[in-house]
Structure 1
């Protein structure tokens, strides 16, 4: 089963593209998604399905990548629905609790945007190795050196964060299984029980993550790591297709920003 942030090796045109192109594509699509209406979001959804087909990534993997964020987005959807003023829907009014048409519409559109942003990030991590993401970010952020910011250090932080996402999910699943093996009830129905379950999960999870961080620091120091410019075994090289895609994405963003109301 796919975990958020996990690379899926395939031989496809999407996997073979330069990581800089994919990073630029995610940024451009992210800007466009945040400004889209429901019709545009459906078009972007169709585009992501085409990209996953070309990349030979199963749709089930895309859906699995949304599972960790669904509870938070569902809570956010309820906030939009119940706290957005507007015309109440007669079929969904329960005394003082009213659901407005504007809140329902805003909730659907906003949550759809957030879900598509997660899908875009998932497609990036599914088709690009962490080392490629690091190299791509380091190249794109090189102009920051003129203001005293190390592009490699920023890229390394992002790369480590991506590596820790699947590890965090694995640690959480392991702790849950250990608690279930000891007879713990992790499916509490009462709010107090849920808070207690979250606390029992958060404390050992935080301790394990801090221990993993210490192990990572020790491993980097033992290998002589030091901040600063790095060299790579393989250097990135843009092809004509990559240049064409970058030009297309740049033109698409400019046209969208000019003609979008």
Structure 2
């Protein structure tokens, strides 16, 4: 794995798993994350930690994937903290401000959901080659092909979007470092100044994104890319570890579903 989160060949059991199993497991886990309560959050967190260890991923690299969304998660946390009705833990009557126990819990859950969803996507992208990701998505979308949907093109666009996330993050860090080297103070100032700084950084970032998109289009044309059916260099086949992973995930999903019914959040 590279520091930017881009995938290269790995030797862990998660790297060698069929991409269809990893994609389906990621989607299922993401759906349960949206509905998770306190007990479910603990179970999903333990599962993510176990997968991270099995994939031999460094926590610092996964943390880099979560950091860009820290501001959004913090904003939602504050909104829940101050605007959720419930049992007051602290209040400031003159300003009509109060913190409730329910708001604290819901805000913490929103932050956890953000982190869990991003970690799921990061683990998938770090342990799956782009070509395998495209092949896996295409196979999973095969039933929709009979409805006239361009499944291969959808799989290609999805894989490229996932691939460009770490690339654009690296580009953002490069622009930020370049502006700091020119003497720009990116941390000081009020909200208006920070908004101006964000605009000054977004313009070169958009230019870089369009430039990279043009380079990618030219590279695909040079390699003779065209729409339509094509063969694969490596055919996907389910092996013993894949069936074991599917069985394990079915058990996990069943436990999460039962906990939603019988365990009070």
User: TM (normalized to structure 2)?
Assistant: 0.89
Mapped to 1, the partners of 2:93 and 2:216 lie a distance apart of 53
Go from structure 1 to structure 2 and tell me whether the alpha carbon gap of 1:26 and 1:221 turns closer, same or farther (over 3 Å shift): same
* Alignment coverage as a number of residue pairs: 260
Go from structure 1 to structure 2 and tell me whether the alpha carbon gap of 1:92 and 1:167 turns closer, same or farther (over 3 Å shift): farther
In 2, are the aligned partners of 1:89 and 1:98 still within 8 Å (CA)?
A: yes
Q: Secondary structure at the match of 1:98?
A: strand
In 2, are the aligned partners of 1:10 and 1:56 still within 8 Å (CA)?
A: no
Mapped to 1, the partners of 2:54 and 2:254 lie a distance apart of 26
Go from structure 1 to structure 2 and tell me whether the alpha carbon gap of 1:79 and 1:259 turns closer, same or farther (over 3 Å shift): closer
Kindly indicate whether residue 202 of structure 2 is the aligned counterpart of residue 202 of structure 1: yes
Partner of 1:2: 3
Aligned runs of 1:166-185 on 2, under 5 Å?
166-185=166-185
Partner of 2:47: 47
Partner of 2:37: 37
| Range moving further from structure 2, 120-129 or 248-257 | 248-257
Partner of 1:56: 56
Go from structure 1 to structure 2 and tell me whether the alpha carbon gap of 1:29 and 1:92 turns closer, same or farther (over 3 Å shift): farther
Partner of 1:69: 69
State the Cα distance separating 1:79 from its structure 2 match: 1.4
Q: Which runs of 5+ in 1 are unaligned?
A: none
State the Cα distance separating 1:149 from its structure 2 match: 0.5
Mapped to 2, the partners of 1:181 and 1:256 lie a distance apart of 49
State the Cα distance separating 1:94 from its structure 2 match: 7.0
Partner of 1:98: 98
Mapped to 2, the partners of 1:245 and 1:97 lie a distance apart of 48
State the Cα distance separating 1:254 from its structure 2 match: 5.5
Q: Secondary structure at the match of 1:15?
A: coil
User: TM (normalized to structure 1)?
Assistant: 0.91
Go from structure 1 to structure 2 and tell me whether the alpha carbon gap of 1:93 and 1:71 turns closer, same or farther (over 3 Å shift): farther
Mapped to 2, the partners of 1:203 and 1:140 lie a distance apart of 37
In 1, are the aligned partners of 2:87 and 2:102 still within 8 Å (CA)?
A: yes
